[in-house]
């Protein structure tokens, strides 16, 4: 078996961590129509979306004289989809691609057959599809279709959509996709392609992101605007919750609304952590929102200290906001090794035991003798936070205060984000005081849910009757019932 078909031996996260102490977005998607060598643009787009999935990636392209071509590989985009010999096998003006981590509930690394995009051949032609998110009734749908004779080749939700499309009686592929997507529940943003069309869809609540861009005579769809920037595309707009766009080079963008209208519930954690800080969400700079989270946090959880330090890199904008609002000096008390992920592809046990020191080092000269506020984006299991606290105290800090730019993560996400089981989430089993004692820090405070809502632009905070965002991992209030997980024994929060 070639390397391309083997999962990486020790996959490291983009930030160099591999200890499951961060929530991880599971996928990024990108598609292009109307540009020569579309696959090259898709590869660049996926490279910009690499933070959303680093285990594997795939691209499908279409060229009239060659039909559909595809390549799926484990590893980083830059290590695979930059090779001329591979990219030459993906010709055409239409292409879609996908980067991924393994999906919710899967054990261990992915098999290459689970790597998207997926392809289906229908009587009216072929279609390839890739999605970001999670279908919460996929198990039930899969059982139903297997009972009726479907043969599945992967464990991916996307394959469910292909099988549902195959069963539809509609006469064209976009209509079959509408039929299929009306049967699925959950959170999904989809990019798909036929021989002539690029298709994008967001679920009715718009939980996962998808944006439209324009470049020359071509169009593109992307999980985030940062991937439009890398190819020089102009940001046009977000695909609306519940909208399907069908795009051709000749006719441009056709908009459909196949679902019953619903109140949008975009993932609030995209603002906190998943999206890149140079992306725009809902017309707001992600960087600026994160800085504002730090401002709110400083208002809610002030403490007497000498220095505000970010836990790099994701805590940086909130730390800048915290320092600005509190008037306490900001400093790089922790420095990240940018090359961690590539240096130790297969670390020895001894090196792995060094844990967080492999990727983060303390700036001793700055820390010594100071009362330090550490600003991080989230606490999931708390393992990394404990190690960082030890490093800061070893460096001679007088006090360590944690300030967290999200509310306590007490519930798992079932909408396309890799979360530990509920019992492994620190906040699921401990109060804030207990977490503070467990981490061994002088104080620990999280931003409130209302504070987070204010920071993302909801001046009145969270509407408890009709929350404006999905915040289930903090509140336990799931906007779409996770049917498959309930069947597997997951206990929803009791009604208050």
Q: Is 415 in the site for ligand SF4 (CB under 6 A)?
A: yes
Number of residues that bind ligand SF4 (CB under 6 A): 11
Using the minimum distance from each CB to ligand SF4, give the nearer residue, 158 or 409: 409
* Residue with Cβ nearer ligand SF4 (87 or 473): 473
Interface with ligand SF4 in residues 421-480 (CB under 6 A): 470-473
CA proximity to 177, closest of 243, 236, 251: 243
Q: Taking the complex as a whole, how short is the minimal distance between the CB of residue 64 and ligand SF4, in angstroms?
A: 39
Judged by CB under 6 A, the stretch of 193-201, 265-273, 302-310, 446-454 that binds ligand SF4 is 265-273
Stretch in the footprint of ligand SF4 (CB under 6 A) among 173-181, 191-199, 255-263, 412-420: 412-420
Omega within 30 of 0 (cis) for the link into 409: no
27 is catalytic: yes
Q: What does the radius of gyration of the chain's CA atoms come to, in whole angstroms?
A: 23
Distance (Å, rounded) from C-alpha 203 to C-alpha 182? 9
CB of 202 to ligand SF4, least distance (A): 13
d(CA 335, CA 338): 9
Stretches 62-70, 140-148, 413-421, 454-462: which one binds ligand SF4 (CB under 6 A)? 413-421
Which residues have a Cβ under 8 Å from the Cβ of 301 and sit 6 or more positions away? 403, 445, 446, 447
Q: How far is the CB of 266 from ligand SF4 (least distance, A)?
A: 8
Nearer to ligand SF4, 227 or 380 (CB): 380
Q: Which is nearer to ligand SF4, 355 or 476 (CB)?
A: 476
Q: Which whole-number Å values give the CA distances from 240 to 181, 186, 243, in the listed order?
A: 15, 16, 5
Supply the DSSP string of 105-123, one letter for each residue. T--SSPPGGGPSPEEEEET
Residue with tokens 């725009």: 280
Least distance in angstroms from the C-beta of 182 to ligand SF4: 21
361 C-beta neighbours (distance < 10 Å), count? 14
Q: How far is the CB of 404 from ligand SF4 (least distance, A)?
A: 15
d(CA 155, CA 161): 12
Rounded to whole angstroms, the Cα distance separating 333 from 312 reads 10
Q: Can you tell me the distance from the alpha carbon of 162 to that of 179, in angstroms, rounded to the nearest whole number? A: 11
Task: With beta carbons less than 8 A apart as the criterion, state whether 480 and 187 touch.
Answer: yes
Q: How far is the CB of 452 from ligand SF4 (least distance, A)?
A: 10
Q: Which stretch binds ligand SF4 (CB under 6 A): 93-101, 264-272, 295-303, 389-397?
A: 264-272
Interface with ligand SF4, residue 301, by CB under 6 A: no
Please, what sign has the CA dihedral across residues 406, 410, 416, 420?
A: positive
Give the binding range for ligand SF4 (CB under 6 A) out of 122-130, 178-186, 302-310, 410-418. 410-418
Q: Which of residues 206-225 bind ligand SF4 (CB under 6 A)?
A: 207
- Selecting among 27, 220, 309, 473, the annotated active-site residue is 27
Closest approach of Cβ 473 to ligand SF4, in Å? 3
Subset of 181-210 contacting ligand SF4 (CB under 6 A): 207
267 belongs to the binding site for ligand SF4 (CB under 6 A): yes
Distance of CA 61 to the CA centre of its chain: 24
**Angstrom distances, CA of residue 312 to CA of 270, 325, 343:** 17, 20, 18
Q: Is 269 in the site for ligand SF4 (CB under 6 A)?
A: yes
What is the Cα–Cα distance from 414 to 421, expressed in whole angstroms?
Answer: 11
Q: Which is nearer to ligand SF4, 133 or 321 (CB)?
A: 133
135 binds ligand SF4 (CB under 6 A): no
d(CA 458, CA 191): 30
Q: Which residues are catalytic?
A: 27
Binding site for ligand SF4 (CB under 6 A): 207, 267-269, 413, 415, 417, 470-473
């Amino acid at each position: 078996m070639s390397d391309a078909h083997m999962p990486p031996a020790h996959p490291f996260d983009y930030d160099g961590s591999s200890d499951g102490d961060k929530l991880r977005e599971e996928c990024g998607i990108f598609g292009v129509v109307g540009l020569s060598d579309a696959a090259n643009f898709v590869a660049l787009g996926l490279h910009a979306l690499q933070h959303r999935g680093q285990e594997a990636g795939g691209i499908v392209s279409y060229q009239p004289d060659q039909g559909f071509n595809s390549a799926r590989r484990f590893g980083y985009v830059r290590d695979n989809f930059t090779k001329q010999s591979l990219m030459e096998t993906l010709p055409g003006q239409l292409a879609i691609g996908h980067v991924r981590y393994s999906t919710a509930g899967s054990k261990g690394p992915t098999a290459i057959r689970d790597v998207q995009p997926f392809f289906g051949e229908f009587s009216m032609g072929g279609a390839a599809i890739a999605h970001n998110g999670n279908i919460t009734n996929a198990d039930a749908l899969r059982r139903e279709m297997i009972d009726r004779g479907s043969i599945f080749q992967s464990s991916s939700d996307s394959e469910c959509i292909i099988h549902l499309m195959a069963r539809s009686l509609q006469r064209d592929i976009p209509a079959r996709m509408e039929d299929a997507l009306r049967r699925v529940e959950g959170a999904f943003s989809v990019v798909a392609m036929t021989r002539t069309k690029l298709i994008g869809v967001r679920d009715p609540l718009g939980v996962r992101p998808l944006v439209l861009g324009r470049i020359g005579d071509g169009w593109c769809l992307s999980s985030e605007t940062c991937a439009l920037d890398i190819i020089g595309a102009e940001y046009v707009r977000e695909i609306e919750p519940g909208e399907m766009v069908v795009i051709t080079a000749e006719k441009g963008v056709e908009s459909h609304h196949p679902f019953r209208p619903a109140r949008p519930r975009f993932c609030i954690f995209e603002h906190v952590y998943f999206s890149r800080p140079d992306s725009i969400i809902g017309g707001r700079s992600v960087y600026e929102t994160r800085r504002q989270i730090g401002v709110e946090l400083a208002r809610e959880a002030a403490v007497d200290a000498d220095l505000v330090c970010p836990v790099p890199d994701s805590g940086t904008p909130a730390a800048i906001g915290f320092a600005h609002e509190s008037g306490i000096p900001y400093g790089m008390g922790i420095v990240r090794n940018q090359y961690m992920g590539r240096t130790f592809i297969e670390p020895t046990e001894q090196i792995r035991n060094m844990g967080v020191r492999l990727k983060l080092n303390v700036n001793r000269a700055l820390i010594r003798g100071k009362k330090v506020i550490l600003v991080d984006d989230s606490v999931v299991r708390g393992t990394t936070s404990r190690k960082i606290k030890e490093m800061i105290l070893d460096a001679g800090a007088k006090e360590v205060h944690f300030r967290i730019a999200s509310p306590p993560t007490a519930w798992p996400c079932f909408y396309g984000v890799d979360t530990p089981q509920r019992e492994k989430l620190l906040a699921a089993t401990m109060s804030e005081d207990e977490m503070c004692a467990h981490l061994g820090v002088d104080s620990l405070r999280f931003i409130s849910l209302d504070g987070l809502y204010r920071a993302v632009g909801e001046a009145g905070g969270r509407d408890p009757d009709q929350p404006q965002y999905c915040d289930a991992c903090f509140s336990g209030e799931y906007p779409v019932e996770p049917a498959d997980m309930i069947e597997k024994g997951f206990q929803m929060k009791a009604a208050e």
